[in-house]
Amino acid sequence: MGNPLWAPWRIEYILAPKGQSDCIFCGIPRATQQEQRDRLVVTATRRAFVMLNRYPFASGHLLVVPHAHVASLDALDPADHEALFRLVRESATRLRAALRCEGMNVGINLGTAAGAGIAEHLHVHIVPRWPGDTNFMPVLADTRVVPQALEATRDHLLGFFADLPASLVDDGVPGPAAREAP
């Protein structure tokens, strides 16, 4: 049978309740620093945030997520759209510097038919890539090798996101949380 490849962090996903009503992406603006840390948030701006994918395709797999709970690009407010893609650009630049990746995949799965695991809340994937990282493991064993614990990756990335431009962090326009307040 060969040697087992241990991935104990997967049991959390296996045992977690499925089809929960709460959106895993909502509530970041109101979350405490510890809650954000537990949810693997790397940085948050007024309109969007960056977090590690808990079930990554590669080490450093980021999700860039608008605070607005929408399923499609056309449902995003223009200011949220601009802020989201500015943060995508900043995240790709910082991820390349932090992990010295030689390429990356950037994409959005819109709708369940397109492969979105969380179709009701739009999010952008940024997956760092290196030559040879597409090896036999995913093809033959349906297994991905992630060489670093997610918490360690998050801690490493924090410094690379610490100097986001002030115009991105606070664009002077109230974010979704402020607009929803009575």
Q: Give the pLDDT confidence of 11-42 residue by residue, as tens digits.
A: 665 666 655 558 989 988 889 999 999 999 99
Closest by CA to 46, choosing from 170, 180, 172, 178, is 170
Report, as an integer, the average pLDDT of 141-153: 66
- Positive/negative CA dihedral, 155, 157, 159, 164: negative
CB contact at 8 A, 90 and 126: no
**Helix, strand and coil in the chain, % to nearest 5:** 40, 15, 50
What pLDDT is recorded for position 131? 82
At the fourth CATH level, the homologous superfamily of domain 39-171 is HIT-like (3.30.428.10)
Q: How confident is the model at residue 48 (pLDDT cuts 50, 70, 90)?
A: very high
> Does the annotation mark 156 as catalytic?
no
What pLDDT is recorded for position 136? 44
Read off the pTM. Answer: 0.75
Question: 72 pLDDT exceeds 80?
Answer: yes
Question: 4 pLDDT exceeds 90?
Answer: no
Which tokens go with 178?
């402020």
> 61, 67, 123, 125: which is the annotated catalytic residue?
123
Question: 103 pLDDT exceeds 50?
Answer: yes
- When mean pLDDT is compared across 18-22, 32-36, 68-72, 161-165, the lowest value belongs to 18-22
